């Protein structure tokens, strides 16, 4: 794909230059054919040392798609420390869902995130733990984090954890959580971090699916001044998890100490780590050994455990972290995501630590103790990059701008947004008020599956336009394709279609845990040869991309991805509910909220009591954010003759966009639509009155 505005002569000249510049690296990295020779000497890790760094971004992008082996081979050799050099750059076949990067290589992610930096700057803060109470932050240096990680790795080993075993991490964003992830990486165990807001049942489902041997947790956590009991949730979850042999319990607060470490599986973590050796040899892992599982919602079925592996993921997160955020040595990187989500994995932990950055661990909420929290933190910690979710921005812009302006934000260089579309009002407030119009704002599009940012502006590129609400351009190695309704690639500009990525990239997920077939069917079957994102996108006249939203039954509540099928499954478990259908409904702050259409049996309780129980049911089965904001009791649901619920009609009823309901000819009984519209009118009236 030609980079816009680059003449072919100039591009060819640049590529020739790149080939010359890369020649010392290129020779030892064999391509697909010929005898395999191993790399003999490697440049220092953690820095982008080669001449590639001097090339303009557009030329780097062009190289990354015209000669991906050259680009990624050089990047991997240059930026990562290998225990055994890789033999090939890639061996991928998207048709079969086969993704294999840097085969033959051996590596340890924790060495790249810790040991290499301890060699050069041991006393630099790796983490700044921004605890719930402002002004009580704790700094952890690279040396301290390495020791903590080793002690925890030895503790895991002492409790029977071996290479390949899964370890559940149910902890708030904290140094211990980061050490837990890196400790698993050190010994080759596979972590699965579960967002600490998930219910006992949701946690149990993940532990069961991953067959975790050990769970790491703490007594309780504190958020927005309120304590949240975690250990009690773990206790309830592990009752139905026979694979769990030990629960390692840390003491986060003094108040919760009594709740900690009492059951037969429980091990007091601080004592165990104190007794463990402070040094732990790093396992030499295959490039493609799994690093972690992260469960995420799909349009059908239970959440799926996406598998990410070692070398490619680390390379991709470190490269995107540097280029998208314009990361420079000495920066304090402030990503306020929870480590329970992919954003926390890639841009709180792995990308920044691989780059030797100081990364902020934000434990609180945007409005605690007041709506100035983020900006007071920026001033106090001298944050260079601030990366957050539009839902929080929408909430904050409803308060007076003085909450922002009274704090010094001169340390900020780049602003970032992630997880959902950023509307114009939020974009402008973030850019103009928070960033004083001088910081580029990167709207970053990516997914749990993609491992790292795929489409975003490139702020470090000279003269790069940053346009409101545009996710902009593909990152290195990414080739977006928009597909039409017949499955054909759409060429040209000003078009919209299904967003696919036409070639493999090192950060992408490798599989769904123990269900590779589902992986293939979900992502590679809809458009053979391409990765299907599930999102729609629009390509502007200038060739920039804008995400138009999900094309499936996944919704986005306050930046949390939620499958409507999961909510329906929870509702349908109630004896009074024979069936239900859930759709996304727009919300000014949260982006979307679930809107539930429920059919109730006549003879079971009063509707208000049942609806209360349904709310509780969803909170216990999934999490509080998944509880529908609206319940509409209906007699029947609109179904096709083959029995499929026509959700698009329900979406239109919910948003009162019933002027054009589209083709209803496949409905079994079209009169059901009028019935539901009437029920919705009554609901709306009642709602207005209350
Ligand atoms: O619909 C897209 C939306 O979030 C989905 C991915 O959710 P998740 O796997 O939880 O990862 C979120 C953090 C990377 C996508 O399929 N999404 C993500 N970023 C954007 C976005 N929608 C619009 N603009 C974005 N920048």
Identify the three-state secondary structure at position 462. Answer: coil
Residue 104 DSSP one-character state: T
Across the range 312-338, mean pLDDT stands at: 96
> Which atom of ligand 1 sits closest to the CA of residue 561?
10
Between the alpha carbon of residue 630 and those of residues 22, 79, 240, 599, 622, the distances in Å are 58, 50, 32, 14, 17
469 lines ligand 1 (CB under 6 A): no
Does residue 233 surpass a pLDDT of 70?
yes
| Partners of residue 538 on adjacent β-strands | 496, 546
Identify the band that residue 20 occupies on the pLDDT scale cut at 50, 70 and 90: very low
Residue 126 near residue 142 (C-beta atoms within 8 A) = yes
Which pLDDT score is estimated for 27?
Answer: 26
Which residues make Cβ contacts (< 8 Å) with residue 463, sequence separation at least 6? none
pLDDT digits (tens, 9 = 90+) for 444-462: 999 999 999 999 987 766 6
Is residue 420 within 6 Å of ligand 1 at its C-beta?
Answer: yes
Q: Is the distance from the beta carbon of residue 421 to the nearest atom of ligand 1 less than 6 Å?
A: yes
Q: Which of 1-15, 184-198, 401-415, 554-568 has the lowest mean pLDDT?
A: 1-15
Look at residue 17 in the predicted model and tell me its pLDDT. Answer: 34
Is the pLDDT at 502 greater than 50? The verdict is yes
pLDDT tens for residues 613-642? 999 999 999 999 999 999 999 999 999 888
Residue 261: the pLDDT is 57
Q: Is the CB of 342 under 6 A from ligand 1?
A: yes
Ligand 1 contacts CB of residue 317 (under 6 A): no
Among the atoms of ligand 1, which is closest to the Cα of residue 448? 9
The whole-angstrom distance between residue 307's C-alpha and the CA centroid of its chain comes to: 13
- Which of 180-184, 270-274, 655-659 has the lowest average pLDDT? 655-659
Is the bond preceding residue 363 a cis peptide, omega within 30 degrees? no
Mutate-to-test residue for ligand 1 from 299, 445, 544, highest number of ligand atoms within 8 A of CB: 445
| Cα–Cα nearest to 572, from 561, 581, 563 | 581
**Residue 496 CB neighbours (<10 A):** 15
Closest residue by Cα to atom 18, ligand 1, is 419
Instruction: Judge residue 211's burial from the number of C-beta atoms within 10 Å of its C-beta, 0-12 exposed, 13-18 middle, 19 or more buried.
Output: middle
Closest ligand 1 atom, residue 556 Cα: 4
pLDDT at residue 211 greater than cutoff 90: yes
Which helix (DSSP H) or strand (DSSP E) does residue 592 occupy? strand 591-599
Q: Please give the distance, rounded to the nearest whole angstrom, from the Cα atom of residue 556 to the centre of ligand 1.
A: 8
Residue bearing the bigger pLDDT, 630 or 298? 630
Q: Is 534 in the pocket of ligand 1 (CB under 6 A)?
A: yes
- Which ligand 1 atom sits nearest the alpha carbon of residue 533? 16
3 state DSSP class of 245:
coil
Q: What is the percent of the chain with per-residue pLDDT over 70, rounded to a whole number?
A: 89
DSSP code of 589?
Answer: T
- Looking at residue 31, its pLDDT comes to 30
CA distance 66 to 149: 40
450 within ligand 1 shell (Cβ under 6 A): no
Query: 162-176, 272-286, 426-440, 537-551: lowest mean pLDDT where?
Result: 537-551
In this prediction, residue 302 has a pLDDT band, given cuts at 50, 70 and 90, of confident
**Residue 464 pLDDT > 90, yes or no?**
no
pLDDT tens string 73-113: 989 998 999 999 999 999 999 999 999 999 999 999 999 99
Task: Give the pLDDT confidence score for residue 589 in this predicted structure.
Answer: 95
User: How is residue 630 written in tokens?
Assistant: 């609206």
Mean pLDDT value of segment 281-285: 98
- Is the predicted pLDDT of residue 169 greater than 50, yes or no? yes
Res 298: pLDDT: 85
Distance CA 678, CA 176 (A): 54
Residue minimizing CA distance to atom 24 of ligand 1: 421
Token pair 């997880």: residue: 419
Q: Specify the residue with its C-alpha closest to ligand 1, atom 13.
A: 419
In whole angstroms, how far apart are CA 175 and each of 381, 412, 603?
17, 24, 53
- 254 pLDDT band (50/70/90 cuts)? low
- Mean pLDDT score, 234-241: 97
pLDDT at 202 over 60: yes
User: Looking at ligand 1, which atom is closest to the CA of residue 549?
Assistant: 1
| CA-based torsion, 231, 236, 237, 238: positive or negative | positive
Ligand 1 midpoint to CA 157 (Å) = 36
Q: Which residues contact 185 (CB under 8 A, 6 or more apart)?
A: 108, 109, 110, 113, 191, 291, 310
Higher-pLDDT residue of 241 and 603 is 241
The neighbour count for residue 10, using CB atoms within 10 Å, is: 11
Whether 558 lines ligand 1, by a CB cut-off of 6 Å, is: no
Token pair recorded at residue 76: 């991997």
**Spatial CB neighbours of 525, under 8 Å, sequence gap ≥ 6:** none
Residue-level pLDDT at 35: 27
Which of 391, 547, 551 best tests ligand 1's pocket when mutated (most atoms within 8 Å of CB)? Answer: 547
Q: Does residue 548 have its Cβ closer than 6 Å to ligand 1?
A: no
- Residue of 427, 450, 561, 563 with the most ligand 1 atoms within 8 Å of its CB, for mutation: 561
Determine whether the shortest distance from the Cβ of 563 to ligand 1 is under 6 A. Answer: no
* 52-66, 100-114, 343-357, 493-507: the lowest-pLDDT one: 52-66
Place of tokens 């040869």: 529
- Which pLDDT band, with edges at 50, 70 and 90, does 49 fall under? low
- In the sheet that 495-501 helps form, which strands lie side by side, from edge to edge? 480-483, 495-501, 531-539, 545-550
In percent, the amount of the chain with pLDDT more than 90 equals 78
Q: Which pLDDT belongs to residue 168?
A: 98
Pocket test for ligand 1, best of 419, 558, 560, 562 (most atoms within 8 A of CB): 419
Q: What is the pLDDT of residues 344-391, one digit of tens each?
A: 999 999 999 999 999 999 999 999 999 999 999 999 999 999 999 999
Reported as a pLDDT band with limits 50, 70 and 90, residue 46 is very low
Judged against a pLDDT cut of 80, whether residue 129 lies above it is answered with yes
Nearest CA owner, ligand 1 atom 22: 420
Element holding 567 (H helix, E strand): helix 564-572
Q: What is the pLDDT of residues 663-685, one digit of tens each?
A: 888 898 999 999 999 999 999 88
> What span, in angstroms and rounded, lies between the C-alpha atoms of 37 and 27?
9
- Report which listed range, 9-13, 25-29, 577-581, is most confident: 577-581
Please name the residue whose Cα sits nearest to atom 25 of ligand 1: 445
Å from CA of 392 to ligand 1 middle:
15
Tell me what pLDDT residue 300 has: 78
Ligand 1 atom 23 nearest Cα: 421
301 phi and psi, to 5 degrees? 70, -170
The residue whose C-alpha atom lies closest to atom 10 belonging to ligand 1 is: 561
Residue 306 has pLDDT above 60, yes or no: yes
The average confidence (pLDDT) of the chain is 89
The CA 418 to ligand 1 mean position distance, Å, reads: 7
């Amino acid at each position: 794909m030609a980079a816009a505005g680059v003449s072919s002569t100039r591009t060819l000249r640049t590529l020739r230059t790149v080939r010359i510049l890369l020649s010392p690296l290129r020779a030892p990295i064999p391509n697909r054919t010929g005898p395999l020779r191993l790399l003999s000497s490697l440049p220092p890790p953690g820095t982008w040392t080669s001449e590639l760094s001097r090339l303009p971004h557009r030329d780097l992008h062009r190289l990354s798609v015209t000669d991906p082996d050259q680009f990624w081979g050089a990047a991997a050799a240059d930026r990562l420390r290998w225990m055994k050099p890789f033999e090939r750059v890639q061996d991928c076949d998207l048709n079969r869902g086969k993704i294999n990067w840097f085969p033959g290589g051996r590596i340890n992610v924790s060495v790249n995130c810790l040991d290499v930096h301890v060699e050069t700057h041991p006393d630099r803060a790796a983490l700044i733990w921004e605890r719930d109470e402002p002004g009580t932050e704790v700094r952890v240096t690279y040396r301290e984090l390495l020791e903590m990680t080793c002690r925890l790795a030895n503790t895991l080993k002492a409790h029977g954890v071996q290479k390949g075993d899964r370890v559940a991490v149910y902890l708030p964003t904290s140094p211990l959580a980061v050490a837990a992830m890196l400790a698993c990486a050190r010994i080759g165990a596979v972590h699965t971090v579960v967002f600490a807001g998930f219910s006992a049942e949701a946690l149990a489902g993940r532990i069961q699916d991953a067959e975790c041997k050990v769970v790491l947790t703490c007594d309780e956590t504190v958020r927005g001044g309120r304590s949240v009991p975690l250990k009690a949730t773990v206790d309830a979850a592990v009752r139905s998890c026979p694979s769990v042999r030990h629960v390692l319990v840390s003491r986060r607060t003094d108040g919760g100490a009594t709740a900690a470490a009492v059951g037969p599986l429980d091990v007091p973590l601080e004592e165990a780590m104190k007794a463990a050796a402070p040094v732990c040899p790093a396992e030499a892992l295959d490039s493609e050994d799994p690093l972690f599982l992260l469960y995420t919602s799909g349009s059908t079925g239970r959440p799926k455990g996406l598998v990410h592996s070692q070398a490619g993921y680390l390379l991709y997160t470190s490269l995107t972290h540097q280029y998208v955020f314009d990361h420079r040595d000495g920066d304090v990187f402030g990503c306020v995501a929870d480590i329970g989500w992919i954003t926390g994995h890639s841009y709180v932990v792995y990308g920044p630590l691989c780059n030797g950055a100081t990364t902020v661990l934000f434990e609180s909420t945007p409005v605690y103790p007041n709506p100035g929290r983020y900006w007071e933190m920026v001033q106090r910690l001298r944050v260079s990059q601030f990366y957050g979710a539009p839902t929080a921005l929408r909430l904050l812009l409803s308060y007076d701008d003085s909450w922002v302006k009274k704090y010094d934000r001169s340390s900020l260089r780049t602003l970032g947004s992630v997880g959902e579309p950023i509307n114009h009002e939020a974009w402008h407030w973030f850019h103009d008020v928070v960033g004083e119009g001088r910081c580029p704002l990167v709207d970053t599009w990516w997914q749990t599956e993609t491992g790292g940012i795929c489409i975003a502006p490139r702020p470090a590129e000279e003269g790069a336009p940053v346009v409101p609400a545009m996710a902009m351009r593909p990152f290195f190695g990414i080739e977006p394709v928009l597909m039409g309704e017949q499955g054909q690639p759409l060429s040209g500009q000003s078009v919209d279609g299904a967003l696919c990525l036409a070639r493999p990239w090192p950060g992408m997920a490798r599989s769904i845990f123990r269900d590779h077939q589902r992986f293939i069917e979900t992502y590679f079957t809809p458009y053979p040869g391409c990765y299907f994102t599930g999102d729609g996108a629009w390509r502007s006249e200038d060739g920039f991309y804008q995400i138009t939203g999900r094309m499936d039954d996944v919704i986005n509540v306050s930046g949390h991805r939620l499958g409507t099928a999961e909510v329906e499954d929870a509702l349908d478990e109630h004896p009074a509910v024979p069936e239900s259908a859930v759709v996304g409904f727009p919300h000014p702050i949260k982006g979307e909220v679930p809107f539930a259409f429920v059919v109730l049996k006549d003879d079971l309780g009063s509707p208000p009591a049942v609806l209360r129980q349904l709310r509780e049911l969803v909170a216990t089965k999934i999490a509080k954010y998944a509880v529908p904001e609206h319940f509409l009791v209906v007699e029947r649901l609109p179904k096709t003759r083959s029995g499929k619920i026509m959700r698009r009609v329900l979406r239109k009823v919910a948003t009162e966009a019933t002027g054009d309901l589209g083709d209803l000819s496949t409905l079994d009984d079209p009169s059901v639509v009028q019935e539901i519209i009437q029920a919705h009118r009554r609901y709306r009236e009642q709602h207005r009155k209350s």
